[in-house]
């Protein structure tokens, strides 16, 4: 009689913990996102800091140099993008005229198909423009507020990253001290594996983005897309969000082709570039560059991406995979959580089939 209420209480406590955790993650997003992003970057830069310390460079300087190199790389990419955008805007007038022509063609089609005269369409457009102009001030304030928030959070992430790298030994000692002495060696292995997997995943991801920049740049240039480097950088950066990023980047490239007056052949060529690069990425690059650094099955990758977007937006989608990788390592190294680690990890179909066959043979009656 007491077993059932006890089991019900445990389930209720588990549901309550999950609900409170999700609510905490949602409402504390502004506080947690910079910290988690900085922690992942620190895991990536720690290896370089340790390498510098072996040459006798003190901790303060060895923590700062990798961070400055990272910032310098980002600034260099931003400068290249800015330079390409300036070149791209030289032809902006022609693109605007092309878009205007396509809009006129669309309006003619609407008039012929639905019977809406040009005058009615013009009146509807004016009404929408008046509504938009009344909201222009609010939009500008929102843009300024967003840019200020991005700048503040960027500086905050850099500060956090430096401090995480500088105090990494101090933080690791704290984690080990809150664990019972008999389990400290095991906890040390878990911390080391988590940091290793995260740093390798991020390093592989950055290498993949760089390779995609080159491949998309070559492909878009061959197709004849103006501003090929800009759209190559966009497609590469969007790779941070698995599955969806490259697709969105190529949709943007197709819209640019149409705005530039490209025909159906150029659109099909962009699609062909996308399919070829996706094939090479899936069957060759991910194995060679990224490898099996984060062993998570596709089902939970998609679940993680959706949950991350709902909780933290784009930042949540970018952080979902490395965070899931750390969660899997923790589950794999705690006996009570092994089942969850196996659930998140890739399915070994051959092994599962062999195990199932053994169980079926054992259950067969002897003749």
In this structure, the answer to whether residues 257 and 337 fall within a common structural domain is: no
Whether residue 14 lies inside any domain: the answer is: no
Query: 92 and 36 share a domain?
Result: yes
H-type alpha helices, 224-282: 228-237, 245-259, 264-280
Same-domain pairing of 270 and 226: yes
Same domain, 57 and 170: yes
Residues 158 and 61 in one domain: yes
In a domain, 358, yes or no: no
Among left, alpha and beta (phi > 0; psi -120 to 50; other), residue 127 is alpha
Closest by CA position to 200, among listed 297, 314, 304, 326: 326
Do 35 and 173 lie in one domain? The reply is: yes
Q: Which residue has the tokens 């589950």?
A: 331
- pLDDT the model gives residue 331: 82
pLDDT the model gives residue 94: 58
CB 208 within 8 A of CB 286: yes
Domain-located, residue 361: no
- pLDDT for the residue 66: 92
| CA nearest neighbour of 289 among 239, 349, 243 | 239
Question: At which of 248, 274, 292 does a domain end?
Answer: 292
Q: Same domain, yes or no, for 100 and 159?
A: yes
**Whole-number Cα distances in Å, 184 to 88, 304, 331, 338:** 57, 30, 16, 19
Six-digit token string for 87: 């070149």
Are 230 and 98 members of one domain? no
**Domain hosting residue 205, numbered range:** 196-292
Instruction: Say if 269 falls within a structural domain.
Output: yes
Q: Which residues of 304-335 are buried (b: 16+ CB within 10 A; e: fewer)?
A: bbebbbebbeebbbbbbbbbbbbbbbbbbbee
In a domain, 236, yes or no: yes
Cα–Cα nearest to 320, from 210, 205, 209, 168 = 205
In a domain, 95, yes or no: yes
Query: Are 220 and 327 in the same domain?
Result: no
Question: Considering the entire predicted model, what is its pTM?
Answer: 0.72
Q: How far apart are CA 165 and CA 46, in angstroms?
A: 6
User: Which contacts qualify for 339-346: CB closer than 8 Å, 24 or more apart?
Assistant: 343/300, 344/296, 344/297, 344/300, 345/295, 345/296, 345/297, 346/295, 346/296, 346/297
Residue 220 DSSP class: H
Q: Report yes or no on 183 lying in a domain.
A: no
Same-domain check for residues 42 and 162: yes
| Euclidean distance between CA atoms 136 and 360, whole angstroms | 69
Provide CB contacts within 8 A for 160, sequence distance 6+. 34, 35, 38, 39, 42
In a domain, 271, yes or no: yes
In three-state secondary structure terms, 128 is: helix
Burial of 343 (0-12, 13-18, 19+ CB in 10 A): middle
> What is the spatial distance between Cα 323 and Cα 320, in angstroms, rounded to a whole number?
5
Q: What is the pLDDT of residue 121?
A: 58
Give yes or no: residues 286 and 302 share one domain.
no
Q: Which two tokens stand for residue 32?
A: 């947690």
Count of the separate structural domains present in the chain: 3
Query: Residue 353's pLDDT is what?
Result: 46
CA distance 156 to 328: 28
Q: What is the pLDDT of residue 130?
A: 58
Same domain, yes or no: 53 and 169: yes
For residue 15, what pLDDT is reported? Answer: 83
Question: What is the block-wise mean pLDDT of the chain (367 residues), using blocks of 10 residues?
Answer: 61 81 87 90 88 90 93 88 72 59 64 64 63 56 73 91 92 86 81 77 81 89 84 83 75 80 81 88 69 68 85 84 81 80 73 50 52
CA distances from 339 to 12, 24, 324, 348 (A): 20, 25, 15, 14
> In Å, what is the CA distance from 232 to each residue of 84, 244, 255, 316?
11, 16, 14, 23
């Amino acid at each position: 009689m007491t077993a059932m209420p006890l089991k019900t209480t445990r389930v209720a406590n588990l549901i309550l913990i999950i609900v409170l955790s999700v609510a905490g993650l949602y409402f504390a997003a502004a506080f947690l996102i910079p910290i988690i992003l900085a922690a992942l970057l620190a895991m990536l830069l720690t290896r370089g800091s340790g390498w510098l310390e072996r040459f006798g460079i003190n901790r303060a300087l060895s923590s700062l140099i990798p961070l400055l190199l990272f910032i310098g790389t980002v600034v260099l990419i931003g400068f290249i993008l800015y330079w390409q955008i300036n070149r791209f805007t030289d032809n902006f007038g022609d693109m605007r005229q092309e878009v205007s022509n396509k809009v006129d063609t669309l309006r003619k089609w609407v008039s012929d198909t639905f019977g809406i005269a040009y005058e009615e369409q013009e009146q509807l457009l004016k009404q929408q423009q008046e509504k938009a102009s009344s909201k222009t001030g609010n939009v500008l304030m929102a843009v300024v507020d967003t840019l200020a928030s991005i700048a503040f959070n960027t500086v905050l992430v850099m500060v956090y990253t430096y401090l995480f790298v500088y105090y990494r030994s101090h933080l690791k000692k704290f984690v080990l001290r809150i664990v019972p002495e008999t389990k400290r060696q095991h906890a040390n292995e878990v911390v080391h594996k988590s940091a290793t997997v995260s740093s390798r995943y991020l390093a592989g991801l950055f290498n993949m983005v760089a390779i995609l920049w080159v491949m998309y740049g070559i492909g878009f240039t061959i197709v004849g897309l103006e501003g090929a480097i800009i759209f190559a950088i966009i497609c590469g950066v969007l790779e941070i969000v698995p599955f969806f990023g490259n697709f969105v980047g190529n949709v943007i490239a197709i819209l640019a082709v149409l705005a530039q007056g490209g025909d159906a052949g150029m659109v099909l060529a962009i699609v062909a570039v996308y399919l070829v690069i996706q094939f090479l990425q899936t069957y060759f690059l991910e194995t060679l560059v990224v490898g099996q650094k984060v062993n998570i099955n596709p089902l939970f990758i998609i679940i993680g991406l959706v949950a991350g977007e709902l909780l933290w937006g784009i930042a949540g989608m970018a952080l979902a995979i490395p965070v899931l990788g750390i969660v899997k390592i923790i589950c794999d190294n705690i006996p009570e959580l092994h089942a969850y680690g196996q659930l998140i990890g890739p399915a070994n179909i051959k092994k599962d089939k062999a195990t199932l066959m053994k169980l079926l043979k054992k259950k067969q009656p002897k003749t």
